[in-house]
Structure 1
């Protein structure tokens, strides 16, 4: 997202109550791209790349599509789409528009680094497809050049390393560059409108910028454009390749066939119900969309790359990523999803990105694992509380479970785990609790119950895995120490575990959804040791009080808030918002506790929360996506889709299915396995 496009959005949305101006929201529309290119297809017909973290290439910054008929353009953003949805279990986005009685069908697919837009209309009804695309090669909207290959129907926009291309199956009736907003336009109160006609002003204006306006003639009732992103390409070879690709994709059956062969998971998806009610397919699709080739994932599409309201989302956090990996491993074991390649790539990525001291850093670029901008890197620059110890623990939990699932992996995984175990030990204080550090939500420092839970889980998983007896015995001993030390965080008055011990040692007794991780940690610990009745009672009290205390229900939505006193992105609402990851965590923890204690009441609690996350629930968008947050009036907000709640939803469905507790009111009609 360039500064020009951020300012454009700011002008268009300033003053709205549930919108943060200057962001590039993905709260409606659909994504395509299950390789290293991720393209958002808006309901208004626009395309926008979210590819940079996954590939290092920026691509489309803004765009606008429409048709030309009766001697004038009609833009899709002025028309209400009749329908927009994925084609079955693929990542092909199908959209239909009604233009005064004329129905247009549009097909959008991202494959092999290309994005294809194929439009079908009744023959003779439409003259041409109107296309405006603002490319930002290298993330820039200045110092850019254009080359137009009119005979081939190809436009190239380039900076230095990145070269972006636009091609048409039927050539261009008109193709001109557009002058980007100049300083007076940027400073004006009203946003500039594009495209600005087919006149460029001075002769060089149309060749010194990334804005392209093209009119693509319909032939036999179809028009097709293809965009492609390349790094230092062989220009002649790319142009020839794009001409062939545009002609090949100028057919709906070809597009559908390629989409059907493309979907990443190797699972036999026929075991699931295809259609609007299938959350399993939705979750696998989302996690595929957010993944890079090397096995890493972005947390979500980066809607705030200028850090105006957040620290950005287009990075790999080892906490989120490893939790997703572990949930996928668990779900695969239960549902036979065929995700072995995903598991292997995750394991290899964690091995490659481990630091010399055995820890993993705050966040990295997903395409190459290099250190990304962050604020919790004290393990790199020295001692301090700006370190998130739970991230290292989460990776180790996955790696141990990954090795335990297939003993042929032990030889390669054990050295990584051994180094990571040393890092955990180094960040475990003498009292048996992790050292003071940052929390899972990255907005506090202290000694957190959630961090304790991740340490207990990691030590336990390592102790249960088929590693050397020395490693297992050491991990088991550490797990017992952490297990016993958790008592120091118990709050008698509320009968819960504290959010944290503050830097002065005082307990912060607020309820926090991240502490729900205690349930999974205790369920794992029960495999290597005995849970006494006192701990079971405390765990039940903590879970029950946390679920009750964090619950929020309005006329529009129902779910769990993140923690008591959460003020982030509340806007004019003035109180905490519901978070999908918190709600999914609650559903997952309730199911795990029910299985651990054979208390069927908590299966009911799990299904109640899960129902809000399923396609007909109040927290799930029509796309099947789970946004990070939701306002009380039902307006979604922040990163959409967010990978972590999708993995939690999938794991909860798999768990309930595995114990034959999936069926229930509001559940069985949405998931059939």
Structure 2
């Protein structure tokens, strides 16, 4: 998204009660792109790149497609969209628009750095149609200082090292430039500009040649031999790094890819070959496994790292951005997938190897991991919690991330087949240094930022990740001295958790605040205590008192944070959460909190069942209740299977969509419930 398009969206949506104006929302469409590129396809037929975080390349900022016949141009966004979804298990997106006398069936597929859009018109066509294709192309995120080149039927828009190319399988009739929004148009309070503009000429010949806005007119190939006329064409775009690919090679790549995939059959064959994991037919809740693994593949870079989600807010107007790798989210995704693979044999070993390599490459010298990095190369990304890269105290540091990475690497060393276990052991030994240096004498982590990134203090969630990280290392097949050191750390944190217990309310406090007082609000982050104690139970004993504390805490937390409206139900993050409410008075329901609740209940139930505690069935029931809201037809799940980050009370999805973290939690929860014979049929 450029500043021009952000301001245009702001004018169009600033009075909407449940929209944050100026964002590039992904809550109504579907993504394609399992390789080098991530492309959003809206139900209105246009598409847009969200590629930069996963490859370092940028492309389509805006697009629009229309069908020109004798009576004018019908833009797809003005037609009724009757269907959009994936074809089978693939990332091939099929969208159907109803134009009255004919239908438009659109297939979108991203292969490598090429995005293909195939259009098929079927019905009464009084004359041969022409496709009007508008593109706003932004190589290197530039909206100015661009150049246009035409290579026969292929357009190139270039900046310095990067170029965007567009072509079609049928002969291109005309390519003409468009003026982007001008200063006087941008500065009006309400007036917006619709593209493409009328063909009225330009003031100077270079105006339409030095930017990325362009219209391509493409004739359809028409077959009138049947009862209904059929017209087809395929448009393709390529993101090319000219340092790696020559201009001629780039032109050949985009034209060849388009011509080789000019039918639905060839698109489907390519899409099926692209699917990263073949999910066995007998997999419990197979449709969820397909959805979850597809989303996690969409959000993954070639390094194996995942961005949190497609970034809706590139100008940080309302958030701090989403198109980065957080080590908390990413390592928990890896750990949940590892547990799923152990139980359901999903064949994800290569994913785990990539994740482990990424974590080893990005570990800091003090044993910790940074706030967030770019997924495509692991370099430090903009953030607000990089204190351990700076001089001074550690308050602006998210210590839970180091605990989470240590938990995954330990589990991978124990359950997986790493190619270099010694390297992982060295990483874990250094991670112990990072944990030890941020653990206070009372057994709780230092004052730092929380997982929700909106407070500082000494958090119960951070303590849970430390308990799990230490215990996981103590279980790992590493040198005895490392295990002993880790076990000592785990016991210290286990005892330290008593500092957070609020006796009269029977809960663990959210934190000790910066003034040293207990903050007794309920927080879904505290649900991490269940998995942490389950890990701890493998290396040390848990007292009956602690078990009773956990059961009571969960009962109060699940009851207190549960919300139900006419449209949706689930858990909100924590008491008093004011983030992104817009006009809504109450806290918004989050998919990650609801998924976390379902998973944590299975963990606690399993811990109780291992002790012969009859309360296990109560928490399995709670797990099924929460899981129901994220199941295939759950109230928090979109029609395409996506879990958005959060929802308004009327069911309107909001913010990063899809969010990777809850998809991994959901998959692991299915595996846990199925293994315990607790999954409803």
Counterpart of 1:337 (choices 346, 353, 356) is 346
Paired with 1:509 and 1:19, the residues of 2 have a C-alpha distance of 32
Corresponding position of 2:92: 92
Q: In 2, are the aligned partners of 1:178 and 1:200 still within 8 Å (CA)?
A: no
Corresponding position of 1:197: 198
Is the aligned partner of 1:175 residue 2:175? Answer: yes
Q: 45-54 or 524-533, which moves further after superposition?
A: 524-533
Q: Deviations over 1:322-380 (max 9, x none)?
A: 11110011111111111111110000000000111111000001111111000011111
Shift of the alpha carbon at 1:309?
0.1
Shift of the alpha carbon at 1:87?
0.3
- Counterparts in 2 of 1:141-290, with a 5 A limit? 141-149=143-151, 151=152, 153-188=153-188, 189-201=190-202, 202-220=204-222, 221-232=231-242, 233-265=245-277, 267-272=278-283, 278-290=287-299
Say which SS state the counterpart of residue 572 (structure 1) adopts.
coil
Corresponding position of 1:671: none
Counterpart of 1:128 (choices 127, 130, 146) is 130
Q: In 2, are the aligned partners of 1:165 and 1:229 still within 8 Å (CA)?
A: yes
Corresponding position of 1:414: 425
Shift of the alpha carbon at 1:206?
2.1
Corresponding position of 1:461: 472
Shift of the alpha carbon at 1:207?
1.1
Counterpart of 1:292 (choices 276, 298, 301) is 301
Q: In 2, are the aligned partners of 1:200 and 1:206 still within 8 Å (CA)?
A: no
- Counterparts in 2 of 1:496-511, with a 5 A limit? 496-511=507-522
Q: In 2, are the aligned partners of 1:593 and 1:602 still within 8 Å (CA)?
A: yes
Counterpart of 1:600 (choices 606, 617, 628) is 617
Shift of the alpha carbon at 1:200?
4.0
Say which SS state the counterpart of residue 440 (structure 2) adopts.
coil
Structure 2 CA distance for partners of 1:522 and 1:91, relative to 1, 3 Å = same
Q: TM-score, normalised by structure 1?
A: 0.96
Paired with 1:268 and 1:308, the residues of 2 have a C-alpha distance of 40
Shift of the alpha carbon at 1:244?
1.8
Q: In 1, are the aligned partners of 2:565 and 2:649 still within 8 Å (CA)?
A: yes
Shift of the alpha carbon at 1:191?
1.1
- Counterparts in 2 of 1:375-390, with a 5 A limit? 375-382=384-391, 383-390=393-400
Q: 408-417 or 298-307, which moves further after superposition?
A: 408-417
Corresponding position of 1:656: 673
Q: In 1, are the aligned partners of 2:326 and 2:373 still within 8 Å (CA)?
A: yes
Counterpart of 1:646 (choices 660, 663, 669) is 663
Paired with 2:283 and 2:65, the residues of 1 have a C-alpha distance of 35
Paired with 1:425 and 1:614, the residues of 2 have a C-alpha distance of 40
Shift of the alpha carbon at 1:10?
0.4
Structure 2 CA distance for partners of 1:273 and 1:43, relative to 1, 3 Å = farther
Is the aligned partner of 1:43 residue 2:43? Answer: yes
Q: In 2, are the aligned partners of 1:583 and 1:609 still within 8 Å (CA)?
A: yes
Counterpart of 1:397 (choices 402, 407, 427) is 407
Is the aligned partner of 1:532 residue 2:543? Answer: yes
Shift of the alpha carbon at 1:272?
4.3
Corresponding position of 2:117: 117
Q: Deviations over 1:443-472 (max 9, x none)?
A: 101000000000000000000010000100
Shift of the alpha carbon at 1:414?
0.4
Corresponding position of 1:373: 382
Paired with 2:201 and 2:585, the residues of 1 have a C-alpha distance of 48
Q: TM-score, normalised by structure 2?
A: 0.95
Gaps of 5+ in 2: 223-230, 610-615
Corresponding position of 2:564: 553
Paired with 1:106 and 1:635, the residues of 2 have a C-alpha distance of 25
Corresponding position of 2:365: 356
Shift of the alpha carbon at 1:199?
4.5
Shift of the alpha carbon at 1:505?
1.3
Paired with 1:79 and 1:424, the residues of 2 have a C-alpha distance of 57
Q: In 1, are the aligned partners of 2:103 and 2:123 still within 8 Å (CA)?
A: no
Paired with 2:570 and 2:578, the residues of 1 have a C-alpha distance of 17
Say which SS state the counterpart of residue 629 (structure 2) adopts.
helix
Shift of the alpha carbon at 1:284?
0.5
Shift of the alpha carbon at 1:273?
8.2
Q: In 2, are the aligned partners of 1:133 and 1:212 still within 8 Å (CA)?
A: yes
Paired with 2:553 and 2:347, the residues of 1 have a C-alpha distance of 36
Q: In 1, are the aligned partners of 2:86 and 2:93 still within 8 Å (CA)?
A: yes
Shift of the alpha carbon at 1:263?
1.1
Counterpart of 1:522 (choices 533, 537, 543) is 533
Q: In 1, are the aligned partners of 2:114 and 2:257 still within 8 Å (CA)?
A: no
Q: In 2, are the aligned partners of 1:653 and 1:662 still within 8 Å (CA)?
A: yes
Aligned length: 659
Q: Deviations over 1:197-219 (max 9, x none)?
A: 34441322221110110111111
Corresponding position of 2:443: 432
Paired with 1:135 and 1:175, the residues of 2 have a C-alpha distance of 14
Corresponding position of 1:56: 56
Corresponding position of 2:489: 478
Q: Deviations over 1:572-617 (max 9, x none)?
A: 1122110110000100011111111021111111111111112211
Q: In 2, are the aligned partners of 1:523 and 1:596 still within 8 Å (CA)?
A: yes
Show structure 1 runs of 4+ deviating over 6 A: none
Shift of the alpha carbon at 1:633?
1.2
Q: Deviations over 1:247-290 (max 9, x none)?
A: 1121110001000110122x44433489xx82111000000000
Shift of the alpha carbon at 1:504?
1.7
Paired with 2:85 and 2:394, the residues of 1 have a C-alpha distance of 48
Paired with 2:654 and 2:150, the residues of 1 have a C-alpha distance of 40
- Counterparts in 2 of 1:289-328, with a 5 A limit? 289-328=298-337
Gaps of 5+ in 1: 669-673
Q: In 1, are the aligned partners of 2:599 and 2:665 still within 8 Å (CA)?
A: yes
Paired with 1:506 and 1:621, the residues of 2 have a C-alpha distance of 41
Structure 2 CA distance for partners of 1:135 and 1:269, relative to 1, 3 Å = farther
Paired with 1:268 and 1:646, the residues of 2 have a C-alpha distance of 15
Q: 311-320 or 198-207, which moves further after superposition?
A: 198-207
Paired with 2:499 and 2:73, the residues of 1 have a C-alpha distance of 69
Q: 236-245 or 575-584, which moves further after superposition?
A: 236-245
Q: 559-568 or 214-223, which moves further after superposition?
A: 214-223
Paired with 1:136 and 1:8, the residues of 2 have a C-alpha distance of 16
